[in-house]
Amino acid sequence: MAGVGTAHLRPADEVLLQVTDLHVEYSAGRGRRVRAVSGVSFDMTEGETLGLVGESGCGKSTTARAVLQLPRPTSGRVVFDGVDLTTLRGEELRRVRAGLQMIFQDPIASLNPRREVRDIVREGLDIWPDHRYRAPENGRDESGGGDPGPSSPATDRVRAVLGSVGMDLDEVGNRRPHEFSGGQCQRICIARALALDPRVLICDEPVSALDVSIQAQILNLLEDLKELYGLTMLFIAHDLAVVKSISDRVCVMYLGRICEIGPTDAIFDDPAHPYSDALLSSIPQLDPGGGTEDEVLPGDPPSPFDVPSGCRFRTRCPRATELCAETVPELRAVSPGRFVACHFPLTASPPDAARHEGGATSTPSAATSSHP
Amino acid sequence: MSHSPETPTLVVDDLRTSFTTARGELKAVDGVSFSIHSGRTLGVVGESGSGKSATARSIMNLLPPGSSQSTGRVLLDGRDVRNLPRAESRHIWGVEASMVFQNPMTSLNPVMQVGRQISEGLRYHRRLPREAAMRRARELLEQVGIAEPDQRLREYPHQLSGGMRQRVMIAIALACEPKLLIADEPTTALDVTVQKQILDLLDRLRRQHRMAMILITHDLSVVAGRTDDVIVMYAGRVVERAPTLQLFTAMRHPYTKALFESIPKVAHPSHTRLQIIQGRPPDLAYLPPGCAFAPRCTHAQPQCLGESPSLSGSDASEHRYACFYPAGTAEGESALAGNRAAGQTAAGLALVNGPATAGGGAV
Ligand SMILES: Nc1ncnc2c1ncn2[C@@H]1O[C@H](COP(=O)(O)OP(=O)(O)OP(=O)(O)O)[C@@H](O)[C@H]1O
Ligand SMILES: Nc1ncnc2c1ncn2[C@@H]1O[C@H](COP(=O)(O)OP(=O)(O)OP(=O)(O)O)[C@@H](O)[C@H]1O
Ligand code: SF4
Ligand SMILES: [Mg+2]
Ligand SMILES: [Mg+2]
């Protein structure tokens, strides 16, 4: 059986990016291997935002980087606009990759400490001088004011993208990364990624270092780019309210595999995978004194060097039976557009019924077929 | 901030830190004062670039030597620790007072195994033998919820996920059981379940060892659930300060209020337009006279443009705010109503009805 299923993929000619059965393994020394990503498949139509959430270390960043072939996945296909990136080399790959930009998780570490901000942001523009933007170049921030300084198409572009993340080229242009705060570095990374006007933007925790007001400004900007120019996004974040706000669809991962994928509001209203349920019920509330000590997810995270058999969540799942230890659950539809990889999903049937009739004898289809 | 008679673990008095930049002197911290008692947690929130990390670095003596100047007093357990001889200060920083840095990747040593990075302090400051220090490092990794600690002890930072690096930083900071922990965005790379586990661990240490903690965070639900007092920073200054419960029931500073209105809510359907604060963060090298928030403030009056408000409030309460027209007061509400009627503020900010739209132009 290949991975955890591809039933949720849409026809290849309807999507802009399609990732099929992605596997990434790292060598961890002494002959041990980390199975960071094991059979992940997803797709995005043009202008769609897919949110990617899951436990720390479950393989989100690895998945994101594998899409860009940084590094190349151990196996699997990544088809962007009809071209399989895993088959491209050198110059060819670099050219196609200009259409896919990434905002990396650790903003400061991803900025060259010796370069000035203006050069960091215009880097890509110099490599692709004849790049044509779909977006207007004079999106100058109206609050900018002051002397606009020397102007050229590239400078205008740099000024516009910095302005859109709330920074002024004249103020920050000739400073270097170490002179900025965590959130300022993150905004520089966002500006750099947007400068080339990518078709696909891969965002790995793009707003985690920002205060909520600048975060709101960036999220609104991304929504505008999506509305106006059909920007397609893979959006990784731990802040579930942020993910909910920006995503059309959400994909929940656990230990290298997809648990559940489907429309955002449906998953947030009614998670079907026991892990999604645990995750969503731990969202901290905005009330003073609300910190509690009750455990939502019992047990320790399993080792990625020695993953559990069957369903990888079973060692911490309140619904697990023998079946879960024996058979890897495949992604199956529970309702139109919603797919869950669980033998006993938390859909309409009462949990006790599922558990009791379930046991080792229940078949996977019996547990999921009762839904429209 | 509480009226306890014992000596506070940390007193910061009129801290001022500036950086020399190509465009002149940048005032990153501009007269910040606060104190924390043992076993208490102070939350620090505020605008990106408002001087939160610079405040933390100033306290911890970690400013870049050539390009920064810092004045003000820092007392640890009543002792002035700003001008101690090197031999004495060596066993204070990283031991009695330690810090979790905002950027794990740049603060960890990329070419040293994780186990050595955690155990180093224990060997040097606590004189533990190698084996014992490693055992303690392993225990710490387990406490921060990292599976297979033995394997991870031998790995290098680049082999870890973002959230694992962050937890390694926390393990390093906790290794010597500090009296004061300054945690700068300690849980940004963690999913909500691991975040909870880490915050519970810090809570436990706070109670058991009476550790005092400064929690710098953009996550306002973490502030709500995990702090006793809060300070809100804007442009290098404290603009509001209160016991957490009080702040959440009555936000007085217009910046604090606007900040909370920008929070995305899980209860809202996806793609709900978010509220922002109009305009841009101030240029700290060229601060306008008057209130630094005035150009973006919906309450701003002529007085705000000329005079700088100082931190004040009624004597009966510990709530303090630096604003002439605070929200929820008669002056504040009438200032806002007047601006609404005029369609703009004294600083010329146009007041639109309904949710504000993004300040930046389309890209
Ligand atoms: N370069 C590498 N070498 C070896 N192992 C690695 C490497 N990069 C990641 N890993 C391992 O792969 C697994 C997945 O890591 P990844 O960074 O993709 O997680 P993540 O989901 O992004 O986590 P986080 O939310 O903490 O950022 C982890 O066990 C990690 O230790
Ligand atoms: N080494 C430095 N040289 C020059 N300027 C600096 C330096 N470090 C910080 N600054 C500036 O000082 C100001 C305060 O920075 P600080 O890092 O304290 O912000 P912060 O409140 O922690 O923000 P964030 O929430 O984004 O981390 C910023 O405007 C920043 O650009
Ligand atoms: S009302 Fe005036 S003093 Fe208060 S925040 Fe607004 S501008 Fe500053
Ligand atoms: Mg990651
Ligand atoms: Mg900071």
pTM reported for the whole predicted model:
0.89
User: How close does chain A come to B258, measured CA to CA in Å?
Assistant: 8
What contacts B36, CB < 8 A, 6 or more positions away? B1, B8, B9, B10, B42, B180, B212, B213, B214, B229
- pLDDT band at A293; cut points 50, 70, 90: low
User: How close does chain B come to A72, measured CA to CA in Å?
Assistant: 16
Ligand nearest to the CA of A56: 1
- DSSP for B227-253? -SEEEEEETTEEEEEEEHHHHHH---S
- Which residue on chain B is closest to A139 by alpha carbon? B361
pLDDT, one tens digit per residue, over B259-273 is 999 999 999 999 999
Q: What is the pLDDT of residue A133?
A: 57
pLDDT, one tens digit per residue, over A324-355 is 999 999 999 999 899 999 999 997 454 444 44
Does the C-beta of A177 come closer than 6 Å to ligand 1?
Answer: no
Per-residue DSSP letter, B350: B
Q: Which domains does chain A possess?
A: 12-99+198-308 (3.40.50.300)
Which residues in chain A have Cβ-Cβ distances shorter than 8 Å to B273?
A: 220, 223
Q: Pick the more confident residue, A341 or B4.
A: A341
- pLDDT band at A285; cut points 50, 70, 90: confident
Cβ burial, residue A306 (10 Å; 0-12/13-18/19+): exposed
b/e burial code for range B185-201 (CB count within 10 A of at least 16 → b): bbbbbbbbbbbbbbbbb
3-state per-residue secondary structure call for B277-328 = CCCCCCCCCCCCCCCCCHHHCCCCCHHHHHCCCCCECCCCCCCEECCCCCCC
Residue in A181, A214, A287 closest to B224 by CB: A287
- Which residue on chain B is closest to A278 by alpha carbon? B193
Pairing of strands A100-103, A200-204: parallel
Q: Pick the more confident residue, B137 or A149.
A: B137
Structural domain spans, chain B: 281-359
* Backbone dihedral angles phi then psi of residue B155, each to the nearest 5 degrees: -90, 165
What is the CA(B216)–ligand 3 centre distance, in A?
24
Distances (CA, A) of B81 to B1, B41, B130, B175: 20, 21, 30, 21
What is the CA(B184)–ligand 5 centre distance, in A?
7
Pairing of strands A49-54, B237-243: unpaired
In this predicted structure, the answer to whether residue B281 has a pLDDT above a threshold of 60 is yes
Q: Which atom of ligand 2 approaches the CA of B63 most closely? A: 1
Alpha helices, DSSP H, located in A132-180 = 153-164, 169-172
Q: Which atom of ligand 2 approaches the CA of B233 most closely? A: 21
- A182–B19: do the CB atoms touch at under 8 Å? no
pLDDT, one tens digit per residue, over B71-93 is 999 999 999 999 888 888 888 99
- pLDDT band at A21; cut points 50, 70, 90: very high
B359 contacts chain A (CB < 8 A): yes
Pair of tokens at residue B244: 């957490």
In this predicted structure, the answer to whether residue B252 has a pLDDT above a threshold of 90 is yes
Rg (CA), chain B: 22
Count of C-beta atoms within a 10 Å radius of residue B97: 25
User: How close does chain A come to B199, measured CA to CA in Å?
Assistant: 9
Q: Pick the more confident residue, A303 or B20.
A: B20
- B48–A239: do the CB atoms touch at under 8 Å? no
Strands of the A83-84 sheet, one edge to the other: A33-44, A17-27, A75-80, A83-84
Q: What is the three-class DSSP state of B93?
A: strand
What contacts B337, CB < 8 A, 6 or more positions away? none
In this predicted structure, the answer to whether residue B310 has a pLDDT above a threshold of 70 is yes
A31 contacts chain B (CB < 8 A): no
